[in-house]
Structure 1
Amino acid sequence: MPDKRLIYGILILFLVNLAQAFFTPISEDEAYYWLWSQNLDWGYFDHPPMVAWWISVGYEFFQNELGVRLLTVIFNSLSLFFLWKILNPKTQSQIRLFYGIIASVLVFQVFGFLTTPDAPLLFFTIFYLFSLKKFLEKNSTLSTILLAISFAGLMYSKYHGVLVIVFTLLPIIKIWWRNPKFYLAVLGSLVLYAPHIFWLFENDWIPIQYHFLERSSDEHFEFRKFFNYLGIYFLGAAPLLTYFIWKSIFQFKSENSFQKSIWWLAILPGIFFFFSIFKDNVQPQWLLISFIAMALVLYFHYQNRVNLKWILNLSYIGILLMLILRTLLILPEISPFEKNKNFAEAAAKFNPEFAIFEKYQEASIYKFYNPQTSVAVHRTLGNRKSQFTLWGWEDDFYGKTITYISPWVKSENSFKGYKNRNYYLKEISNYQPFDGIEIETIDQLKVQLGEEIELEVKIINHQKHPISIAGKSDFQLNINYYKDLQYEIEYAVQIPLSEFILKPNESKELKIKFKNIEKKGEFKACLGLNYQPIGTSYLSKPILISTK
């Protein structure tokens, strides 16, 4: 029979998260993942499919924000159960320390109700640590099965899951290296994970390409990223307990192999993601796996101490502040998520039947609050690829009269949208999608100022319909130079060509000529098409151009 103090804790946590899930408007990312759940698959552009599966189950019961978050609330409560089993608090002092620490961990609060891939990653990290502890204590068939399930659960949640596995197993390699049951667990997890591996293979490993090659390709090192990272890593677990967390990490001496693994998990992700700042801006949730380990190390270090006054008092203050912040998320006048609901309602007043947005977040929010409508995304300058790229829904709008909703393409009808901008609704008849056009050319070029450049390019039509380019058509080939941000264009040239038509799956090789920029420096240049009703979209990878 579980300790009644655990049961009370789980019940309180469940009810608080349930109320939060019901009253808090949907976030942009949640709406995006909800759209995944309406189109179930073994994988998606950005992440593995666990988050979509969770939402799909909950949404069967409640067709609102609560349905999106229902399984997150349930599994977060189960996380508390497994944390209790990992730490096994017995005395009144240890129980107060347990609840004080866990309630102070920000990610445990945030992903107790918000449903993003980090919510299942949080649960499966804790479940994996529970399974690993059981496996190290008792090398049984049940612990082997639990370990296999937790391996697969981590990897189905988020690709970061592999870091949890690697960083906890490295320090205890001598224990599992010659253990046949460990390899059975690995084999079992691979069997469970095989459908996603096949999906990756069939889709050209696109999430891997995105995260490791395409993501933040225009980013570069800035000192603000360095200081931002330091703030996240050293303060992000539980801000008010930061001193005690790092004191415990530096002073902690592990009593067994499991505690040794936990200490490594607290430290190594921080080192791993430190190198990301030279290209990317580290996000707080990336270090979720470290924050959970930090909380466990803090408990291990102080569990047998008598004087816990400072830790407990700071924990209580943190819990109070967290309850205030969570209450503010519900209030319409204050909640940062209320703008999403307002955006969807304002756009819906114009009754667009086929709505096209520039960002996947906008399309997802609109679709969540208006599920009967059809949406698509037309990716413009500076907007990244997304699951909409894989779906290719824009291609289904070919020849239809669509409503293009954007803050940049102006029209007579508008409403106040994000950042208090005017969002314009432009009706376009006989819409001609072109997101499925690909342009291949060289990767880099060194040229003189103002020199005439000649390039060989290949234009491929991956769409289901033909497209007419150049001449008197609505599509004109151009090239745009920029340095850091794609939409901050420094130089643009339209390329004169005779009109030609590309049928579906047809390609054409061309030699194009244009005058180089008359400015020294290092530039990136993308070839794209300018569609007369909307504007330019890039359709090639950046060309690195050096002018002198």
Structure 2
Amino acid sequence: MILRYKFLSILFMKREKILPALFIVSISLSLSSTLYFIFTLDIHPDEAYYFSWSEFLSSGYIDHPPAIAYIIKLSRIIFDGNLRIRGLNLLLSFATLIFLYYSIKILNREYYGALIIAAFSPIFITGSVISTPDTPLIFFISAYIYFSLKNLIDSVRVSVSIISGIMLGLALLSKYTAFSIYISLLVLYFLFKNRPHLRLHIVIIPLITSFVVYLPNLIYNINNGYQSYIFQLAHATSSPSFEPSKTFLPFLLSQIFIFSPFAMVIFISRLFKRDEDRKEIKHFLVIISVVPFLILIPLSLFKHIEPNWTALSFIPISILIAGELERQKAVFISSIIYQYAIFILISLQVIFSIIPLKPHIDPLSQIRYWKKTSDMIIQNLPQNKKVVTFRYQLSSILYYYSERRITSICLDRRFVKGEIGLMEAKDWVMIDFFPAKTAYEIALNVCHSQIKRIPLVISENLNIIRRVDIIYCE
């Protein structure tokens, strides 16, 4: 124990040299590993899905706002190979760290610990590699927070308020979870009741500006029966059942894993710490970071919550813990060791599968072998038949990996019975993950001849990764 604290003391005595070096090494490792994953991992079905959006640009889509489609479209113009989908996404991820750095620096806090934790966070690494709406969401939130902090610290300026509103509007165009910030702004409006200039520049101007920026997607939803809102609301509230051990506990553990247990402990302690100086800044950061949890924790008692639904809290939490980490020597060292350990473990698992997990409990199995899956399906497709799938993942990888030669109809399995009448049995081939229950039911209804089934097994080292069934009428 004495040696341990002596080591910590020596480390912090030389912190002026060690911390900058550790910071540079950490960012370099994060970037190099991200680049390796970008070039070696197959394009994920979600990315292929958004790739198809980029070919048909719109102001909205069935389940998300349009920002990711425009980002991939621009990335395709600039880059090639896997980077044509992931290139601009990578730049946005590391630009997020720049905004995080300046947000912490403007508060005159130590930034090393917070940035190292952020750079090795699973949500950051995943978002840097796989292009999803979370990456632009986190980037635009980081920019919005930075410009809002400038107004809270410096003399308020209308131009800065407008820029922060534009960034918030672009966050809304990235993912609907950004609407939780409107709830935060409502709370801040009442908290700033004796500070009219803050009400104007932190709440009113950004809110109005962001709404104007967001208008194209609102118009899209109005013209299309509010389909995106309805889809996401159904996704967030469908199939409720009170089983906290199956829903709440996994959600809680996923958040600890994403943000790191040490960061969460410091974050919670900051919530209850009295700050007489700059309390408006603390109110701003705390409310933005807490509101998503206040919405999702009650929901998690009744249904599964995706870990990334709290993504917009990533930046304000990182800013709040900045400085506090460095003041607590043991916690700082422990958190850095933890982040490195998690980073190394994830990297080794992605590259070498060092822990032989079964695919259904290995989340990393979902990012492997999609090209192989698509190639096997394409090789076994019968000629001159139209393709029906019941999962968007299958439709999207077939479209992407066939270089847009194979288009398919993706039917919603919940409402598929209403579509059966549109199908001529002899013309269609159905593809679904095993067990293909829906495809069998349809085949039994529409086939007047023998049903043909081609089972495909995608495996690695004798471990089955996924199964796919091809079903059609002979």
Shorter-chain TM-score: which interval? 0.7 to 0.9
Residue 204 (structure 1) aligned with residue 225 (structure 2): yes
Q: 2:131 aligns with which of 96, 99, 115?
A: 115
Alignment partner, residue 187 of structure 1: 208
Alignment partner, residue 44 of structure 1: 61
Which stretch has the larger CA shift, 407-416 or 188-197?
407-416
Contact 2:54–2:70 (Cα < 8 Å) also in 1: yes
Residue 157 (structure 1) aligned with residue 160 (structure 2): no
* Secondary structure of 1:157's aligned partner: coil
Deviations 1:82-141 (A, max 9, x none): 1111101899x9343243332343322221222111111111111111011122233224
Alignment partner, residue 436 of structure 1: none
Alignment partner, residue 148 of structure 2: 132
Contact 2:114–2:319 (Cα < 8 Å) also in 1: no
In structure 1, what is the Cα distance between the partners aligned to 2:411 and 2:273?
51
Contact 2:60–2:217 (Cα < 8 Å) also in 1: yes
Alignment partner, residue 287 of structure 2: 264
1:328 to 1:57, Cα distance in 2 relative to 1, 3 A: farther
1:395 to 1:204, Cα distance in 2 relative to 1, 3 A: farther
Q: 1:276 aligns with which of 287, 295, 299?
A: 299
Alignment partner, residue 368 of structure 1: 400
Contact 1:358–1:379 (Cα < 8 Å) also in 2: yes
Q: 1:404 aligns with which of 413, 430, 446?
A: 430
Residue 218 (structure 1) aligned with residue 239 (structure 2): yes
Alignment partner, residue 246 of structure 1: 268
1:105 to 1:425, Cα distance in 2 relative to 1, 3 A: closer
Alignment partner, residue 370 of structure 2: 340
TM-superposed deviation, 1:196: 1.2
The structure whose Rg is larger is 1
AA aligned to 2:430 is Y
TM-superposed deviation, 1:396: 10
Alignment partner, residue 4 of structure 2: none
Contact 1:75–1:123 (Cα < 8 Å) also in 2: yes
* Secondary structure of 1:271's aligned partner: helix
Contact 2:26–2:119 (Cα < 8 Å) also in 1: no
Q: 2:115 aligns with which of 77, 90, 99?
A: 99
AA aligned to 2:139 is F
Residue 170 (structure 1) aligned with residue 202 (structure 2): no
1:103 to 1:380, Cα distance in 2 relative to 1, 3 A: closer
Alignment partner, residue 313 of structure 2: 290
In structure 1, what is the Cα distance between the partners aligned to 2:232 and 2:136?
19
1:247 to 1:216, Cα distance in 2 relative to 1, 3 A: closer
AA aligned to 1:413 is I
TM-superposed deviation, 1:81: 0.8
Alignment partner, residue 49 of structure 2: 32
1:195 to 1:395, Cα distance in 2 relative to 1, 3 A: farther
Q: Where in structure 2 are the equivalents of 1:389-400 lying within 5 Å? A: none
AA aligned to 2:65 is P
- Higher RCO (Cα < 8 Å, 6 or more apart): 2
In structure 2, what is the Cα distance between the partners aligned to 1:84 and 1:395?
58
Which structure 1 segments of 5+ residues have no match?
430-548
In structure 2, what is the Cα distance between the partners aligned to 1:317 and 1:230?
18
Alignment partner, residue 316 of structure 1: 337
1:191 to 1:301, Cα distance in 2 relative to 1, 3 A: same
AA aligned to 1:196 is N
Residue 426 (structure 1) aligned with residue 466 (structure 2): no
Deviations 1:210-262 (A, max 9, x none): 22246553332212212223323455411354433433333363632122211
* Secondary structure of 1:413's aligned partner: strand
TM-superposed deviation, 1:11: 6.5
1:249 to 1:291, Cα distance in 2 relative to 1, 3 A: farther
TM-score, L = length of structure 2? 0.76
Contact 2:185–2:203 (Cα < 8 Å) also in 1: no
In structure 2, what is the Cα distance between the partners aligned to 1:274 and 1:234?
13
Contact 1:356–1:402 (Cα < 8 Å) also in 2: yes
In structure 1, what is the Cα distance between the partners aligned to 2:135 and 2:424?
37
Contact 1:144–1:181 (Cα < 8 Å) also in 2: yes
TM-score, L = length of structure 1? 0.67
* Secondary structure of 1:374's aligned partner: coil
* Secondary structure of 2:430's aligned partner: strand
Q: 1:142 aligns with which of 139, 150, 159?
A: 159
AA aligned to 1:415 is L
1:252 to 1:230, Cα distance in 2 relative to 1, 3 A: farther
CA RMSD of aligned residues (A): 3.6
In structure 1, what is the Cα distance between the partners aligned to 2:83 and 2:395?
20
AA aligned to 2:400 is F
* Secondary structure of 1:200's aligned partner: helix
Alignment partner, residue 464 of structure 1: none
Contact 1:332–1:338 (Cα < 8 Å) also in 2: no
TM-superposed deviation, 1:74: 0.2
AA aligned to 1:423 is V
TM-superposed deviation, 1:10: 6.4
* Secondary structure of 1:416's aligned partner: strand
Deviations 1:179-231 (A, max 9, x none): 27964443333332221111111111111112224655333221221222332
* Secondary structure of 2:42's aligned partner: coil
In structure 1, what is the Cα distance between the partners aligned to 2:271 and 2:310?
16
* Secondary structure of 2:380's aligned partner: coil
In structure 1, what is the Cα distance between the partners aligned to 2:114 and 2:263?
13
Alignment partner, residue 456 of structure 2: 415
Which stretch has the larger CA shift, 62-71 or 330-339?
330-339
Same amino acid, percent of matched pairs: 19
* Secondary structure of 1:404's aligned partner: strand
* Secondary structure of 2:242's aligned partner: coil
Contact 1:24–1:330 (Cα < 8 Å) also in 2: no
AA aligned to 1:54 is I
1:206 to 1:126, Cα distance in 2 relative to 1, 3 A: same
1:302 to 1:169, Cα distance in 2 relative to 1, 3 A: farther
**Which structure shows the higher strand fraction?**
1
In structure 1, what is the Cα distance between the partners aligned to 2:322 and 2:334?
15
AA aligned to 1:343 is T
